[in-house]
A and B are shown apart, each in its own frame.
Chain A
Amino acid sequence: MGKFMLRVNMSDLSVKKEDVSQNHRLLGGRALTSTIISNEVNPTCHPLGPNNKLVFAPGIITGTTAPSSGRLSVGAKSPLTGTIKEANAGGIPGQKIARLGIHAIIVEGQPKEKGKFYILRLTPETIALEEAGELTGKGMYEMNELIWEKYGEGIGIIGIGPAGEMLMVNAGVSCNDPENSPGRYAGRGGLGAVMGSKGLKAIIIEQKGLGDIAYANPELFKQGQQKLTKGLQEHAVTGQALPTYGTAVLINILNEAGGLPTRNFSSGRFEGASKIGGEVINEWSKTRGGKVGHACHPGCVIKCSNVVNHPDGTYHVSPVEYETAWSLGANCGIDSLDDIAEMNRICNDIGLDTIEAGATLGVAMEAGVISFGDGKKAIELLNEVGKGSPIGRILGNGTAFTGKAFGVVRIPVVKNQAMPAYEPRAVKGIGVTYATSTMGADHTAGYTIATEILSVGGKADPLVAAEKGAMAKGFQTATIFIDATGYCLFIAFAILDLPDAFQGMLDTINGLLGTSYTAEDFSRFGAEWLALERKFNEAAGFTKQDDRLPEFMYYEKLPPHNHVYDVPDEILDNVHSS
């Protein structure tokens, strides 16, 4: 089966298959979305206008039988940051798209009729745009249910909720998991609003089985698969901690390190931390039912996802991740995991990025709209977003917008994107990533936390500024490569520590593509792709002055360590120029 590109023009509602060009053949995931955006999108275009494009690309290895390799990248110019953007998600759609032979889907143009939505239906026989009809306006849970009822169980769904339809810049793109929960999000940067601006409510993928993927060297691929699987199963983080406690196991360690942003980044410690972490989710899975060790897509051997139930044992939401437990919990002073789970469910339904949503609520709480710690009022506010009321419209447009609307100075964003769950004043290297990433504040762009907090791949003092420029650069170049492969970023915990697992990862790629990539190529490609993204951002008007943390972090000391952010500007400026 030959691979092909799919170009979907929403202006004339046409869908065309195109050959995969030589330049795109070996690319996937973030490398492919960013290459296409760089080549085809004017960096100064309005992100929600007709000239932006939305690109969906499975990773290089996505759709194969390699372990934990189901990621799907979504790219565009971001309406939140104004930069190039890639967000990726697990769930089942990525594998299905790859197994249909689709290298990437490029959505362009805009429907003439405003407020009209369509679905793109992909099957082995058919590729067609259909009117969304009754799905328009629906939340993600109801929409996913209706789609499985109408088209069949097990179908992959990529969709937007009402936030995306209303073009709110905190709208994410949902991918469904094997049980049809909409909770796997390409959340960051407002890509759901771009999808809404294209009049695209959903992409549904009807595909069964392993597809017909051509391996250049099946034996090498198989060897690599075995090495990597062994490494993921043996490493204590990917083999034990993540499947047992999920990502929210980080709540307590960041709290102990004094780096858990609390009450809108006014402290690094939350007195209610022990009530909202992964240990509680694990305990609940025994007392309430639900699940830990849940896989977000078939073939994941890490299984960090979970299902969290109500006190009465009925289903509530999946998954509750670290970022979400923090943003809607500690950052809002809320220590009720049930309230956090409810807000998580609302975000999944409306179609919001939970990081941005929690940071937005934190700013609204600081402004006195509601009180810190008031979970019930926070739930009410989030529901306003889905209704599109005036307050809901403000909150749905994110942290920076809400801060301006209410006159708040402590606004924890870089390039308008909210910081995730690691305080840069207590973990200096992650601040370098936030400041200098091509995506705005984004921990996944260069996860220095691995060495600064978790002692994986080395060990560094989080409170010391020295050497953090080189560290953040190294993580950023490695990350973009993993984001291109379609592997879950969490394989990094194993491949950073275990040389055999790292080689296994390379072997799977070389076995699939027929390439002979080495560890050096890993860094070289990463640097090239980052440069491509930087070039887009520069052409969009960004300068080194944008590569800074918000000013308050340079003069407000953060308890308990009472540090300000003290990484010099020169280090930030040299991250990408050295």
Chain B
Amino acid sequence: MNITVRLFAGLRCENKRLECFGKNDFEHVLSQEMNLEEFLNCIGVSVQVAKIIFVNGLFKPLTYVLRDADEISIFPPIGGG
């Protein structure tokens, strides 16, 4: 299962064992089914920091189970105007 991941505003993959370590824009192959919370744990990004998560442009909860070709965008708390 292939997914596309984009991390913003300083977020990076923090898991040294993964090929995407240190990256903020990468393709990723999931070997097993997992939800967003499990995926965040997998890439070493805390669920407290990952405040806003879109999948394919739509807000999704941490319980959302990832599907093939999903595009995931993750933001820490941000604001502006």
List residues of chain A with CB under 8 Å of any chain B CB: 235-238, 240-242, 244-250, 252-253, 256-258, 278-279, 304, 321-323, 443-444, 447, 449-450, 453-456, 459, 461-463, 489-490, 493, 560-561
Partner of B78, one of A245, A323, A443, A463: A245
Q: Say whether B21 faces chain A, with CB atoms less than 8 Å apart.
A: no
A461-B52 Cα distance, complex, nearest whole Å: 12
Would you call A249 and B80 a contact (CB within 8 A)? Answer: yes
Would you call A561 and B57 a contact (CB within 8 A)? Answer: yes
Residue in B9, B54, B73, B78 with the greatest tally of chain A CB atoms within 10 Å: B78
Additional A-B contacts beyond A256-B57, A454-B78, A456-B77 (11; CB < 8 A): A241-B78, A248-B80, A249-B79, A252-B8, A253-B78, A257-B57, A279-B8, A454-B52, A454-B79, A560-B57, A561-B57
Q: Say whether B59 faces chain A, with CB atoms less than 8 Å apart.
A: yes
How many Å from the CB of B48 to the closest CB on chain A? 9
Partner of B79, one of A238, A279, A444, A459: A238
Residue in A253, A278, A461, A463 with the greatest tally of chain B CB atoms within 10 Å: A253
A490-B78 Cα distance, complex, nearest whole Å: 12
> Chain B contact residues: over half helix, strand or loop, or mixed?
loop
List residues of chain B with CB under 8 Å of any chain A CB: 6, 8-10, 51-52, 54, 57-59, 73, 75-81
6 A-B residue pairings within 8 Å (CB atoms): A241-B77, A250-B78, A252-B8, A258-B57, A447-B81, A455-B52
A84-B45 Cα distance, complex, nearest whole Å: 48
Would you call A250 and B76 a contact (CB within 8 A)? Answer: no
Would you call B54 and A242 a contact (CB within 8 A)? Answer: no
A252-B75 Cα distance, complex, nearest whole Å: 9
Would you call A443 and B54 a contact (CB within 8 A)? Answer: no
- Return chain A residues, CB-CB under 8 Å to B52: 253, 453-455
A450-B81 Cα distance, complex, nearest whole Å: 9
Partner of B80, one of A235, A256, A304, A463: A304
Output the nearest chain A residue to B57 by Cβ-Cβ distance: A258
A397-B73 Cα distance, complex, nearest whole Å: 39
Would you call B81 and A489 a contact (CB within 8 A)? Answer: yes
- Return chain A residues, CB-CB under 8 Å to B79: 237-238, 241-242, 249-250, 450, 454, 456, 490, 493
Would you call A322 and B57 a contact (CB within 8 A)? Answer: no
Would you call A247 and B57 a contact (CB within 8 A)? Answer: no
A236-B77 Cα distance, complex, nearest whole Å: 6
- Return chain B residues, CB-CB under 8 Å to A443: 81
- Return chain B residues, CB-CB under 8 Å to A454: 52, 77-79
- Return chain B residues, CB-CB under 8 Å to A321: 80
How many Å from the CB of B40 to the closest CB on chain A? 16
Output the nearest chain B residue to A250 by Cβ-Cβ distance: B80
Output the nearest chain B residue to A456 by Cβ-Cβ distance: B79
- Return chain B residues, CB-CB under 8 Å to A257: 54, 57
Would you call B51 and A455 a contact (CB within 8 A)? Answer: yes
- Return chain B residues, CB-CB under 8 Å to A489: 81
Would you call B80 and A322 a contact (CB within 8 A)? Answer: yes
Output the nearest chain B residue to A268 by Cβ-Cβ distance: B57
How many Å from the CB of B21 to the closest CB on chain A? 19
How many Å from the CB of A23 to the closest CB on chain B? 31
- Return chain A residues, CB-CB under 8 Å to B80: 242, 246-250, 278, 304, 321-322
Partner of A241, one of B9, B54, B59: B9
Q: With A241-B76, A253-B75, A455-B51 in contact, is A278–B9 under 8 Å at CB?
A: yes
